[in-house]
Amino acid sequence: MALPGAPAPAPAAAPALPPPPTVLMSVRVALEQPPRRPPPPAALLRLQLSLQPEPRGQRRFRLGLRRAEEAGGASIAEYDLKDISYTVRSPTCHELVVFGALDEPMVFNFEEEREAQKWWTIVSSSLREVQKASDSSLLAPQASSLPVAAGGSSAEGDPQEALFSELSRKEDLALQLAQAIEDGDEEAAAQCAVALARQQATLSILLKESNYPPDDISMNVGVEDATSSASIVLRVQPHTTIATLKQQVFQDYGFHPLVQRWIIGQCLCVDERTVSSYGIRRDGDTAFLYLLSAKRAELTRQRYEEDQAQLLLNSIASLGDGAAAGEQRQYNTLPSTSPRKAWGSDPSRKMDISEISQHLDTMQIGDLVSNPSASAAASLPSPVQAGWSCPKCTFINKPTRPGCEMCSTDRPDDYVVPCSYKPDETELWRIQQEQEGILQYQQALEAERLRNFQQLLQLEEEVLVPNREVLECRICYQQVAPGEGVLLRECLHNFCRDCLRQVINYSEEPEVACPFRDDSYACSSHLQEREIRALVSPEEYRRFLERGLVLAERRTQNSFHCKTTDCRGWCIYEDSVNEFRCPICQVLNCLLCKAIHEGKNCRQYQDDLQLRAQNDAAARQTSDMLQTLVQLGEAMHCPTCHIIVQKKDGCDWIRCTVCQTEICWVTKGPRWGPGGPGDTSGGCRCNVNGQRCHPRCQNCH
C-alpha cells in the first residue's frame, strides 16, 4: 500500500545495529479512504508510537503504521513526530498530516472512545517533548552564529546575546556563592549574595545529598481515604523531599500528587522540606498519607492522564539513556522506576494498553466521569473505617475522639457518633484516661474555689485590706510599699493611710466618699465605718462622730437644740409635743416659745419679754440697725427661719448660722430644692445647662 509521505527504501548497508526502540503504545484503527480510492485489502490497521534513544541523551519519537496481526503485522510506514501534524477531529476520529506531502490527510477511526482518548494522551505528551527539543536546538545555532566583536564580546544591540551574557553572569555568581558557603568564606558569600539580590535573580537553594546520611530508610506509611485504610512501607532517603515522595507514590501506586496529603509528626508537610526535617531518620518511623477525592483536589481526567504520560516518558528515557541515566537521576525529581514493574527490565517488549493505563481506572479519576458525587479515593483493600474527617488536615479520627489526633482541631459540632460504633481497647483506654483527667480537673477546680472562699473569709475578718503590690497614691502621688496602703472594700481603689486619714478628718459629711477623681470619672463609693475607725485615732474618731451629729441636727427639719448655754442636747419633735426635757442638762425647754421659762406659762414669758424690750434702749438700737441693713441690701432674712444674715466677702453662697439653710445671695432664696444639696428641681438652679442664676452671680458653687 502506497501511503503519503512514506520514505523510499534505503540502499542495503551493514552499519552497527542501533538499540531496539521502546514501544510506548499500540492501538487498532480503521483507515478512512477518500471516495475516489478503493479500500485497501486489510481495512483494520495498527498505529504504533515508539521511542528510539539516540546519542547524547536525545530521544526520537516515531509513529508507525502497521498491518493488523491477522494480516501479518508488517510495517507500512513510519514518520518522525517532528514531520507530522496530528489532530483530533472527534472523540473516535483522528487526523494525520505529513508535512511536505501532496496527498490528502489520513483519517483514523477508533473502535472505542476511551481507547482513542488514551492514545491521544500519549501522543500529545510525545508531541510536546518533540516541540521542547526543537525549541532548545534552535537556540544553540543562533547563539553560536552571533558575530563576535573586538575583545571577544558579541555585537552590541543584540538582545539575545545580552540575555545569554546576563544568564552566564548569574550562573557564575550562583556557583561562586555555593562554593563560598561550602568553604566557609563569609565575605565572599555575602558579596555574591548582594550581587544576585541586585539582579533580582530567582534561586532555589537546596542542601546537597552529601550533607545527609547515605543510608536508606524503611518508612511505615498509613494510607487512608474517606472510606478505607491500609499500611505500606516505602524506601526513602533522608534527603528525599515531600515533592519527590509524592512523585514516588504517583509512579508506584498511581495516586496523583494533588490528592496526596502527608502528615508526619503531627505536621501537615510542605513540598520543599525533606522527610528528615520532619523526624523520619530511622527504619520504622511512621508517616500518614491521606488521599483526597479528585473532585476536592480539582484534579481533572485530562490533567491526570497528561501527568501520567509525562511520568511514563521520563521513566522510559531514564532506562534508555544508558550511561547517562545515572547522571540524569541526580537532577531529576522523579524517582527511578520501581523494580517490581515487569516491563521495566525489557524496554524492547511491546507493552499492552492495559499496562500503560492500569491506574486510569482507579476511583481517583473514574469518578469524575461516571459518578462525580462519589468518593474519589484510592482502591486500597480494607474495611470501611468509621470516624470523622478533620476539617484542617483531613485525617480520619475515631468517632469518639473530641479532637484531631494529628493537629488537635476540634471535632465538628454537627458530627454524631454512630450508635453501632464499638470502641476498641485503645480507644476505651483513652476514654478512661480522659474521664479521669476531667475528674481530676473538676476536683482541682473545686479545691481552688474553696481556697478562694477561705481567703475571702479571712479578708472579711480583717478591718483594713492592705495593698499587695507597690502603688502610687492618687492623692499625694507617692509610691506606697506593699502593706502600707489601703484597698477600699466598696470600690477597690488604693490610697496611702495618711491621705485617707486627712480625708476623714476634713470631711463635712457623715459618710466619707472615696477621694478618687480623674478627668472623666468621680467615684461614688464610701468608706465603711470600720475602715474609718481603723484609720484615725480615738480622739479623731470622736470628733468625726460629733460632726456627724451636728450635721444630722442641721439637716433635720423638726429638730430643736437645748437652750441651755453650751449644752449639746437636742431632739426631733412632733406636732403633738410642746415640751422637751434635755437628757444632758435636765432643763425643760418650751418648744412653742423656743426658750426656757420654767415656772411661767408661754403667755407670761412673752409678755415679760416684750416689757424688757421696751425698756432696753440698746436692744431697740440694735434692732433698728439690722432693719436698715436689710433695706440697703447688705443683709437679708433667712428664707427658712427669718433671722437676719449678712455676707462678709467671697462668693454668693452663704449658710444660715441658725437653721443651716444654704442660701443664694443674689436671688435671696434657697440654693437647693426641697431634696437638699444637689436638688436642682428648686432653688436658684445656678449652673444648670451652663446658665447662671443671675446676671450678677459670682458663682454659687
- Per-residue pLDDT of 88-109, as tens digits, reads 888 889 988 888 776 778 898 9
> Most confidently modeled of 183-192, 245-254, 311-320, 689-698?
245-254
- Cα separation, 107 vs 105, in Å, equals 6
pLDDT tens-digit readout, 633-679: 887 888 887 777 777 566 777 877 667 788 888 888 888 888 778 77
Q: What is the structure's pLDDT at 496? A: 92
Q: Is the sign of the CA dihedral 653, 658, 661, 663 positive or negative?
A: negative
pLDDT tens column, 525-559:
999 988 999 999 999 999 998 888 888 888 887 78
What phi and psi, each to the nearest 5 degrees, are found at residue 318?
-70, -25
508 pLDDT higher than 90: no
Least confident of 175-179, 187-191, 369-373, 432-436: 369-373
- State the chain's mean pLDDT as an integer: 77
Quote the percentage of the chain above a pLDDT of 90: 12
One-letter amino acid at 406 equals: M
pLDDT at position 330, please? 39
Catalytic residue status for 499: no
Distance of CA 337 to the CA centre of its chain: 42
Cell representation of residue 76: 507500512
Judge whether 423 and 433 are in contact, CB under 8 Å: no
> Which has the higher per-residue pLDDT, 168 or 589?
589
User: Of the ranges 51-65, 113-127, 427-441, which one carries the lowest mean pLDDT score?
Assistant: 51-65
Look-up of cell digits 466619707:
512
DSSP letter, residue 319: H
Contact 94, 86 (CB under 8 A): yes
Stretch 500-506: mean pLDDT: 91
Position 146 pLDDT exceeds 80: no
Inform me whether the pLDDT recorded for 277 exceeds 60. Answer: yes
Q: How many CB atoms neighbour CB 448 within 10 A?
A: 10
Q: Which long-range contacts link 512-516 to residues 24+ away (Cβ below 8 Å)?
A: 514/488, 514/490, 515/474, 515/475, 516/474, 516/491
Cell of 157: 544591540
Which residue out of 393, 602, 651, 659 is catalytically annotated?
651
Residue 402 neighbours by CB under 8 Å, 6+ apart: 410, 411, 434
Distance CA 343, CA 283 (A): 30
| Set of cell numbers at residue 539 | 480622739
Helix axes 301-320, 113-144, angle to 10 degrees: 60
Show the cell assigned to 216.
Answer: 536508606
